[in-house]
Every structure is written in structure tokens, then in C-alpha cells.
Structure 1
């Protein structure tokens, strides 16, 4: 009976009748529970129906029924594929490690990519291309697409080259090429490549719906052509939003992210990246909305679908939101967990450091203990790794500067690769070293920088003048002597060297001064030079007094300042002849005026103004009479 059913099963498998195949499999297994052929057919059928957990269980029964299957390449590939689809990448890698077939190598490359071993994935894909292992042109395009995706994270230039060599470029290839160009900060070229990729996708879906169309939609169906187009274009729109954000166009970036977040893509990675970018743009505008979007992608189901870097950035941005609103304890908890889970990343250390510094600033109690905690964190970060990102070192340097530790700040900055080529750092650091008496350190830093920077003359001139100003003439001459040959005889630098030598070595200064170029202007005769000197009358006409020989011998006459007369004493009023205590108060605030009606106040103000005007007129008349008397000729005797 079972042999007859097995023959029927073979015919059903050849005809690809799934319903009949499933029925025959169950009938055979009821009659013979350990039938190897029926179990194998059931496992394959479950794989086709995407029931990978059931398929894996059936394959396990099959391996126990017949141990020969444990060495069968097809059986091992199917078992590894089930592990791969269940996202158990480590188990899948162990099962497929011994296989050398083309499908197994292709699957191993995919597993390495999901395990974030991009170098291994790229090497496998390159080997497949060299062997020309693709069965058709479509499979070759898939290999090139996956190769460019692996290269994006390790070498953006190789990713662009891989896409460029492809005979026919797909939308996924163009997307990877745009990502590589974005990594190389070729923003305009990346925008053009993204637009080409979007046009290819729209042509495949026979639709021209853009991000503006989806921005106008309030809701989007979970199925249908509009949803399918949205799901395929969402990653490209995310890259376009990030491109605008990199160029400082945050409003354009937010207008692209808003519809992606509103319609909630089926891809957890798209939602996570959109939430991260939204938090970077809107964290200061709407805390609750941004926090809600980040928490949405932190559910266990969503987190299992994210890459390690995406998980790290989601939690980091959540902690940054908490830091901005002052939730320091919660922020520290996230930072400490990030340090434990990602010890090689600087984000956890920076986050914990920022939270500790913020707590130090916001509270005056136990300040000494907190400051020591900050110092401990800074010290641990400084010795944590030999190579750190420049952003991390800049952050540590900023905190040391806020603490007043300028020496520590400069020490941290000096460890950044290529910092000697930044003229702002060189000039600032040398000036600080000179002011604190470390002349040799300033000369050493300047000498090192002029060999790498294109601003040699600016550095030499600035540092040389600063050294001469503080009297470090020996160090100044050493620095200027170390100038490149093309600048050694330059006029300004040569003059500075002569000045420095004149204060330390006269003979060398005289010798160096001979190389000074002659003045560009011709020597004028003495009479011409004397004629150009302004006369004494011209100088005194503009308010200056030229001191002559006689004036220098005589004592300088100073004009006596007029002694200011005292104000008249207070009026004596009353029978007891006591001064009026309100005499020195302004009229408007005297108590007697406050109680008067407004009409009376105005009348008194008018009377007082009239009296003052009369007094001024009388004074003017007296002055005029005195002036006339002084100007009149004396009477004849």
C-alpha cells in the first residue's frame, strides 16, 4: 500500500500539485511514520509554503530516520536555508560551512552580510563573479547588487566601481551607487543617481506617484499597487532625506520623512532609520512625538529585524532626547547598557560623559565628587583605544576646555590625525603655548605643521611675531631659519629674522640684513622731503601745537581751570530760620506738589518756567553789557 502511495507521491511532485502532494504525504506518514521520502517531500513543501520552523523540525526527524542525510549536500543546504529564513544566522553558517556548491556559497555570503561581516561577504561575491557562477543575467545582476551593498560599508569607491562595470544597471544597483557617493560627500551626483533609481522603479510599476503624492494622502492601504510602490521607493526617499539633512536643508528632509513615518512601512529597517533621522531633526521641536516614534521601533519584534548599528543609533537618539529634557538618570542607564553591549563604540562613553557633565552643571551639591567622576570618565576614554574618531576627541577636548584644563584640551586635540594641517588649531595652540612660556613646544608644533600645511607663510609670520613680542628671540630665529627654502628669503620673514637676531646675535643680524631687498621707492632729495613736511601754521590750524626749542626749555604753562562757585544756600523760611528740607528735591516730587490738583501743578510749573526765562534774559543782558564795556576804547585822559 505504501509503495503505491509513494509512486503516486512521485507523480504529484513532478506535476507540482501541492494539494495532492500534501494529502499523499500525510497518508504515507500515517501508515509509515519514518518514511524518508515522504519526510523529505514534506520538508520541501513546507519550505515552499514559508513554514520554515515546521520544515526544520521535519528535517530533524529525517536526519534521525536516515543518518546518511547528514552528509547529503542538498539536505544540508535546505537545513541551512531554513535557519537563514528564521534569522538564525549563526546556526545557518555552521551547517553550510562545509558546502562548496554555488548556491551554498551564495547563501553563505548573504549570511555573512546579515552578520555584518561585510568583508567576507564581498570576498565571496567577488569569487562568484570571477568563476562566472551566475546561471543567467538576472542572477549576475543580483550578485553585483549584493557586492556593491557589501562594499558600501567598507569601501565606497569599490562599490561605485562595481556598479559602473555592470552591463545593465538595476534600481538596487543605482541605490547602492548613490549611497557610496553620499559616503564620499558627492551630494549632487548622489541626488542624480537617486532620481535615476526612482525613475526605474516608477517605470516598473507604471506609476509616477512621487513623495509629494504620498504626503497628501491621509491613509495608505496595506495592500495594492500604491503600497507596493511606496515600499520599494521608501529606502530611496530615506537616502534623499539624509542627503538634504547633510546639506543643511532640514525642512526638505522633514517633509520627506513625514509621509514615510505616517504610512508606516512594512520594513522595520525603514521605520527605524526614518525615526532616527526624524529625532536628529525634530528633537528640539516636539519631544513627545519624536520619543513616540523611537519607542515604536524598540519593540522586541522590531528590534530583532534591525542591524546592530541601527539598534545602537535608535537607543542613542532616545538617550539624547532624555538628556535634552533633563532626565539624566534614565539617560545614564541607557548609556551604561550601551557601554556593556557595544564596548567598541564611543557613543555610549560620550553619552555617559555628557550626562555626567550636565549633572555637574545642574547641581551644586557634591560638586567635587561629580567633577572627579567626570575626570575619571575622561581618563578612561583617553586610554580606552589607541585610535578614536575625531568627533570623540573633539568632544573630550571641549569638556576639558570648559573645565579650564587648556593643556589637556590641546593634548587631546594634538592626537587627532591631520590636525597639524588645520591652521586655526596651529595658531591657537602656538599662541597658548607662548603665553604660558612653552616656547620650544610652540616652535616644535609650528615646525611640524609647516611641513604639512599650505599656509606656511601665515604660520611662520604669526608665530615669529608672537615669539619676538615676548622676547623669545632665540626661538624665533630658530623657527624662521627652519622655513622652507622658497620662503627663507621672503621679505617679511627675512625682516622678522633680522629683528630676532638683532636682539640676540648682532653679527648674525648684520649678515642677514644684507639680504634684505632694497626699498621699492626711490630716494628723494632733501629739499623735496622738507617741502613735504607740513608748516607750523598748518599744524596749529588743525588744533595741534608744535613744540619749539624755546618751548622745550621753558616750563609748560597750564591753563588754570575756573573754580566752580558753590550753589547758593537753601532758602531761610519760617520764623525759626530753618532751611526748607524740600529745597533740593525736584519740584515734581515734592510732597506739597503731590497733593495739589493737576490744574494747580500746571500753573506752578508755568510760573516757575516764566521766572527762569526772566532770569536767563537778565543774565544775557549783563553779559552783553560787560562785553561791550570791554570792547569800548579807553577814554582819553
Structure 2
């Protein structure tokens, strides 16, 4: 180390990074090529969290960048350049510090495979005081894997007792439960995390306020999802008050403000909500996760819609959407298209609104967002047939395409699931099975097939009596078993599809033993109670029976099942009602349908006359005429009388 730099550093303390920076600058003024002074300056800038200045200095001095790969990669990570941080950390000869940076940067970049690899490298060797940090990282990686659908729900176990000992692990365990859709369990874990943070002995009150913001903001989201709106609104006021004096980072603050705004019941003015949502700005280096970014973008456009900023949404969509990028399932492009359609319809749901959106679909026929919005509008207006036709036409266009990307979108699980739902709503069972079979046939040849889609197709085809469908189901579960050999649903489908095959009886038998026995599944069922209860009726049958009972009660019909006759109000009884006289059992039938009914004869007509009123001649043969019997002419009036004079002016 140079004498000048050494003498300056002797006057500084280890935490006095400003002094380090000043000493390095003074040394560089004397010798601009002082390598040690350059390194001290770079590290001091990183320690002072001046990451933009540090990156600029690294770029201007490539030798410093190469000599301090860990500091450089950490600076990239804190600047939001996660992909570059992973590459820079790999140049640090796989040091333990570089592996930690790789793990964090890969996790933030949503490069799940790289994050798992870095975690496995770190966990293969133990270092003192790293066990807790690695446990926190493992839970975070599992939660991200579930969000990205990289791993199945069954592959991630439930929270352990050790996870409930600290608020960091309890919070990450709650995030895993949210990823699995187990919101009730997530709420319990978050309550535990909040309690642990509030009673933490080593944290100051200021640090506790900062740590509690993301915990409570996440809980606001969960409370709204499980229908506890009042509790969410109360918690939102608490979070809003605690953020005013807390040094919360910009990304966490933005998410918390969005959740507070959606849960608040005090803000009824849409223009005020728009102002509050856009009150805080996000620095460029702050990057959200993909799912967070999509929700925030949706919230932003929602407040724009509520503020009647229709033209702004339409113009922004037409600037950003390009025909060569379509079709696309990118969340940003989908949201842009959907909100453009909503703005064109002026937020209305009607046939007129559909007519406003259809011309835009003609311009961009392969826009997934527009197609889905049109389908939704058709459903909301009660035209399910048109919804099926619109989605089917879109599928046909993609099937004719030669692009592999278009085919992947055509058979994407979301769109296939939408078509399946439409077919199910119209009870089109044959088309439903055909769609699932076609999708399964396409994905069976792919390396990364969506397991949820294949599983649904296999289950549907197992119900078919067609041998070809049974073979297709068998092939589907073969592929699923290769991908997820430990998934119980996959094992059950494999056993069911191969049970009749003689080639794999030993494999089927061994896999069947892994499933829970039927005796265990039925151990809690009371057979006698089921038999005494009888065959359960459908909801429709129960509704009809209840309606019939209600009508009988209104009509005063006694209930045969009740031991005590129901009292009838006197106002509902006829005036000549005699309680000792048995009522006519046919009184509910129309008069014509009763056994005592006798039609009344019309006045002026005799029994031997026809409808026209003339006498009926008993002998209408030629002989009667030969004997001189005359048929008299009838007037067509009843009784054969003369017709009455018509009133004046009447025709």
C-alpha cells in the first residue's frame, strides 16, 4: 500500500467509509494509477450504497472490475441488474461470497434453476452462522418455484416447527402457502410472523416498523382473498399510519400502498384514488417480480378506468401493441389488450359494447387479450354459443400457422382450460374430450409439457369406453410418471390406466401399494347411516320439492309428514266452511276434470239438433227423398230463429 494512502487510512475507523473514500481520492490525485487506492474507492462507494457511482467507476476502470468481482457483482445486484450480476459472480472463481450473490441475484431474476444450483453448492458445505440464512433462502426458492410452476405442490412439504421460530422463516412459509392456494393456513403463519417480529428482542422499534410493513401488507392481500374485508380495512389503516415515519424501501412501499388502497373503504372518489396510487415513484433499479408487476399494472389501469381516462388507455395500447409480436401470452401485453377493449366499451357490458370491440379484433385477429375479452363479454351478455365460436375461430387461425410459438399458445393450459369451461357449461361432452385429447397429443411430444393439462386430459379419457381413448390415457400417464414419479394423483392415474394391461402388472402392483388403501379412505364412513338416509337428491330436485311444499302450505294443504295439523287462518277459509264436513278431494282440479262435472246445455237447442240448429234427419238416403221428405234450410243461428238486426253503423 502506498505511504500516502496508508497514512490517511490510519486516521479512519472501519465504519468510516466517507474517510476511506476521501483518502482514496487524495491518493489518486497524487497517482492516478494507484491500484490499491482504486480498489479502496470502489469498495467505499459500494459500502456507502452509492451503487450508480460505483458502477460508473467500475466501467471506467476495467482492472478494478476484474480484481473485485464480488464487489462488482454485488453492485450490479443492488442496481437491479440481476442477470448481469449472475454472470459477474461466476468470474469470482466460485467463492462462497460469489455463490451467495448468485443465489440472491438468480432468485430476483426469477432464474429458478440457477438459484437452486447455487443453493445446492452452498448447502453442500457447512459454515458457521449460515444455517439460518440458508433456511430462509430455501423457503423463498420453494415459494418462487411454485409461482413459476417449476415444482409441484406435493414436492414442497408443510411448514416445520423450526420455521415458526423466527419471523423471516414464518413469513416465507406463509408465502409458500399462498403459492399453494392455502390462504387460511397462510393467514395463521403471517399472524405468527407478525407476533414474532413485534416481540423480537434484538430489533429496535424503528427496525420493527420497517420489518412489519411487508408482513402486514401481505396479510391485507390474504384477508381480502378470504372475504374478511372489514379486518383488511382495519389493518390497512394501521399499515398506512406505520409507513409515514418508517424507512421502507420503495418497492415494498409501493406494494403496501397498493394493498392499502384496494382494502380501504374510506376512499370513494376515483380521482382521489388515482392520485394516491401515483403519489410514490419507483426508481429504475427497483424491479418487481413478474407476478407483482402484473398486479400493479392491472391496478394502475383500473384506477385509470375508474377515472374515465379511456382515450389514454386506448392510445397507449395502440402505441405499444404491434402485430408482429402477436399472439403473445405476456402478462403486460394481455393486460394492455384487455384494458384497451374495456376502454373501447367504455366499461359497459352489452351488445353495443361488443360491437365497439369487434372492429379492433378484426385489425388484430391474433390478439389473445382481445379474444378473451370478447369471449367474456359474450358470456356476460348470455351468448355462450357466440363465445365458443369466437374462441374456436381463434384456435383455427393458430392451428394454420407454421410458427411453433403460435402452436404453443394454441395449446396453452389457460386457453385450453377456457375452452373446456365453455364446453362444460353447454354440456358438450364429446367436444370436451376431443379438445383434451388433441391438447394431450400435442404436448406429449414436448420436453416440458404442462402436467396439469395432461392430468386433466388423462382423467377425462379414462372415463371413455373407447379403446383408443384408453390407450391415449395410458400414454399420457406414462409421460406424467416420468416427470412426477412421486405425485399421488399421477400414480393413481397410472395405476388406473395400466390396470388391465398384462405387461406391467408388477409395476402397477408396486405403485398401487404406495396409494392409501381404500379401507383407510372409507374408515370414517357410516354405512348404516348412509343406508337409512337413502339416495341423496340433487340440488335441483331438492329445490323443486321445497317449492312444491311451499305451494302446498300457501294453499292450506296439510303436510302428511307432520304429526300436528297446521292451523289455517280464518281469513283464508270460505264463508260457508264447515270443519266437520270432509272437503272434496277433487277441489284442486279444474271443473272439467272432476268426476262430478256435467256440461250444461245451451238454451234454445234440442238434443236432436246439430250445431247449426237444424233438425237431424234420421234417414239421409235416397229413399227418404223419394218419399217426399223435405230438408228444411237452417239459418245458422241457435234455435233456428231469425237473425237479429245489426246495429247502426256496424258491419
Q: Distance in 1 between matches of 2:28 and 2:355?
A: 72
* Aligned residues of 2:349 and 2:380 also touching (Cα < 8 A): no
Q: Is the 8 A contact 2:143 2:179 kept in 1?
A: no
Match of 1:199 in 2: 195
Q: CA deviation at 1:429?
A: 1.1
Q: Distance in 1 between matches of 2:168 and 2:146?
A: 13
Asked if residue 47 in structure 1 is aligned to residue 46 in structure 2, the reply is: yes
1:96-495 mapped onto 2 (5 Å cutoff): 96-99=89-92, 100-132=94-126, 136-148=130-142, 150-151=144-145, 153-154=147-148, 155=151, 157=153, 161=157, 164=160, 169-205=165-201, 225-262=204-241, 263-264=243-244, 266-281=248-263, 285-297=268-280, 299=281, 301=283, 304=286, 306-336=288-318, 339=321, 344-345=330-331, 346-358=334-346, 370=356, 372-373=358-359, 375-376=361-362, 379-382=365-368, 393=372, 395-401=373-379, 406-411=384-389, 426=424, 428-430=425-427
1:49 to partner: Cα distance: 2.9
Taking the aligned partners of 1:371 and 1:20, their CA distance within structure 2 comes to 64
Measured after TM superposition, the shift of residue 35 of structure 1 is 1.5
Contact 2:310/2:343 (8 A) holds in 1: yes
Say whether the 8 Å CA contact 2:24–2:41 is kept in structure 1. Answer: yes
| Residue 44 of structure 1, CA deviation | 2.5
1:516-531 aligned within 5 A: none
Aligned residue number for residue 70 of structure 2? 77
- What does the per-residue CA deviation read over 1:91-139, in whole Å, with 9 as the maximum and x for residues that have no partner? 4344334332221122122222232334432332233223446764344
Contact 2:139 2:176 in 1 (8 A): no
- Contact conserved, 1:106 with 1:124, CA < 8 A, in 2? yes
**In 2, are the aligned partners of 1:360 and 1:370 still within 8 Å (CA)?**
no
Cα distance 1:44–1:538, how it changes in 2: closer, same or farther (>3 A)? closer
Q: CA deviation digits over 1:186-213, x for unaligned, max 9?
A: 2332122112211221121589xxxxxx
For residues 142-186 of structure 1, the C-alpha deviation after alignment (integer angstroms, 9 at most, x for no partner) is 543543454353358489539639678431111111122123232
- The secondary structure found in structure 2 opposite 1:277 is helix
Secondary structure of the 1:350 match is: helix
Asked if the contact 2:274–2:303 (Cα under 8 Å) also holds between the matched residues in 1, the reply is yes
Look up the match of 2:619. none
In the TM superposition, residue 405 of structure 1 has moved relative to its aligned partner by: 5.1
> Per the alignment, do residues 149 and 269 of structure 1 end up closer, same or farther by CA in structure 2, a change over 3 Å counting?
farther
Number of paired residues?
Answer: 434
Deviations 1:385-434 (A, max 9, x none): xxxxxxx85x5433124677543323578986567997x964x514xx7x
Q: 1:311 to 1:560 in 2, by over 3 A?
A: farther
Structure 1 368/168 Cα, relative in aligned 2: closer, same or farther at 3 Å? closer
3-state SS of the aligned residue for 1:296?
coil
C-alpha separation in 2, matches of 1:246 and 1:107: 35
Q: What is the rounded CA distance, in whole Å, between the counterparts of 1:19 and 1:277 in structure 2?
A: 38
Alpha-carbon distance between aligned partners in 1 of 2:430 and 2:72, rounded to the nearest angstrom: 69
What do the CA deviations read for 1:21-69 (whole angstroms, capped 9, x no partner)? 5565455333323221222223223333333344445545654xxx5x6
Q: CA deviation at 1:233?
A: 0.7
CA distance in 2, matches of 1:235, 1:417: 36
Counterpart Cα distance in 2 of 1:451 and 1:308: 31
Does the 8 Å CA contact 2:220/2:263 hold for their aligned counterparts?
no
User: 1:78/1:540 Cα in 2 relative to 1: closer, same or farther (>3 Å)?
Assistant: closer
Does structure 2 conserve the Cα–Cα contact (< 8 Å) formed by 1:149 and 1:159? no
TM-score normalised by length of structure 2: 0.54
Q: Structure with the greater relative contact order (CA < 8 A, sep ≥ 6): 1 or 2? A: 2
| C-alpha separation in 2, matches of 1:319 and 1:383 | 15
RMSD of equivalent CA atoms? 5.0
Closer, same or farther: CA 337–125 of 1 in aligned 2, 3 Å: farther
Kept in 1, the 8 Å contact 2:586–2:594? The answer is no
The higher radius of gyration belongs to 1
Compared CA separation, residues 269 and 254, structure 1 to 2 (3 A): farther
* Superposed CA offset, 1:515-564 (max 9, x none): xxxxxxxxxxxxxxxxxxxxxx977899957899xx99xx9543569xxx
Q: 1:206 to 1:373 in 2, by over 3 A?
A: same
2:85 paired residue number: 92
**In 2, Cα distance between equivalents of 1:259 and 1:34:** 55
Higher helix share: 1
